[in-house]
Amino acid sequence: MTSGILEGKVAIITGAGRGIGRAHALELASQGAAVVVNDAGVSVSGDRGSVVPAQGVVDEIRERGGSAVAASGSVTSPDDCAETVELALREFGHLDIVVNNAGILRNAPLIDTSPEDFDAVVSVHLRGTFLMVREAARHWSAHPGTGRRIINTTSSTGMLGEPGQSGYSAAKAGILGLTMTAAKELGEYGATCNAISPVAITRMTEQFASAWGGVSEDAFTPFDPRNASPVVAYLASDAAGWLNGQVLRVEGNSVIRMSGWSRGSRWDGRAGEFLTTSELASAVPQLYGTFPAPMLSDPGNR
State the catalytic residues. Answer: 155, 168, 172
Which DSSP state fits 227?
G
Q: Compute how many other C-beta atoms are within 10 angstroms of the C-beta atom of residue 259.
A: 8
**1 vs 253: CA distance, rounded Å:** 24
Count CB-CB contacts under 10 A for residue 101: 28
Q: How many CB atoms lie within 10 A of CB 283?
A: 15
Would you give the DSSP letter of residue 20? H
From 25, 160, 21, select the one nearest 101 (Cα to Cα).
21
228 alpha-carbon distance from chain centroid? 12
Contacts of 166 (CB under 8 A, 6+ apart): 110, 113, 118
Cα 20 from Cα 23, distance rounded (Å): 5
Residue 249 pairs with which residues in a beta bridge?
Answer: 197, 256
Q: Are 149 and 240 in contact (CB under 8 A)?
A: yes
Adjacency order of strands within the sheet including 34-38? 68-71, 34-38, 10-14, 97-99, 148-153, 191-198, 247-251, 254-257
* DSSP 8-class letter at 269: -
